[in-house]
Amino acid sequence: MQVRKEIEKITAFLQNEMGNRTPVLAISGGIDSALALMLLKQAFPERNILAYFMPDSITPKVDYRDVEALGFASGINIKTLNIDPVVSSFSTLLGVTSKEALGNIKSRTRMVILFYLANVNNGMVVGTTNRSEYTVGYYTKYGDGACDIEPIMHLLKRDVRELAAELNVPKSIIDKKPSAGLWESQTDESELGMTYEELDDIIVTLFDRKQEAVDPKQQRVMGLYMGSEHKRRMPVSMSD
């Protein structure tokens, strides 16, 4: 991949698709949202970008520090909105006991907030899902998977790291162990059962080279892909 050429292509894509709409973006302290923010900076004036960090009670302190570092590196004012009151209301109302279900509520709460902010600012919600996560459905349906535009969905995780380094995303974010941060001690790779490097290689093997899944990890990826198909298509209806 030619990094600078790829950045130019994504910049043009954002400008062509968004026009004069305001970019609205959630910042998590992770590499995907950090890269999305830096790409938006290439495409639009810093003052026009609305970026929000939406922590809750279990958000680790390192995320606060990394978001602060990203704000300094980008020159963009990243506003903080704590979602605990909203999540607590949902949890109490519904009697939530599952950490996974509560994690999905957190993700969908953040998306409700982003779409409200887009509504009142003539905005478009910018997604941060990469190709590796999209392929295996590693995102919350109508949560972080809900947006108006996806600038990095064609990039594998390894590509995300390469572009992030080129655009001066803070090294602490690039080197951080990926986590959705939906419950304590959660990491992406422990849930996936493999490293992102392994996942990227398998995606290339199965979907680009069209080879069969033969070993257990390849079969797991294919199972995740098939099991998450509902996330990648519009709702089924009688009109289909």
Decide if 198 is inside a domain: no
Decide if 208 is inside a domain: no
Decide if 128 is inside a domain: yes
Decide if 237 is inside a domain: no
Decide if 39 is inside a domain: yes
Which domain, by its residues, includes 156?
3-188
pLDDT band at 177 (very low <50, low <70, confident <90, very high): confident
The Cα–Cα gap between 219 and 202 comes to 10
Q: What is the pLDDT of residue 181?
A: 67
**211-226 b/e with 16+ CB inside 10 Å = b?**
eebeeebbebbbebbe
**Beta-carbon count within 10 A of 3 CB:** 13
Q: What is the pLDDT of residue 39?
A: 98
**Beta-carbon count within 10 A of 209 CB:** 8
What is the number of domains present in the chain?
1
Q: What is the pLDDT of residue 239?
A: 83
Provide CB contacts within 8 A for 197, sequence distance 6+: 157, 158
- The mean predicted confidence, pLDDT, of the chain is 95
**Average of pLDDT values for 135-162?**
97
Decide if 176 is inside a domain: yes
Decide if 196 is inside a domain: no
pLDDT band at 189 (very low <50, low <70, confident <90, very high): confident
Decide if 212 is inside a domain: no
Q: What is the pLDDT of residue 92?
A: 96
Express each pLDDT in 33-70 by its tens digit: 999 999 999 999 999 999 999 999 999 999 999 999 99
The CATH number of whichever domain residue 62 belongs to comes to 3.40.50.620
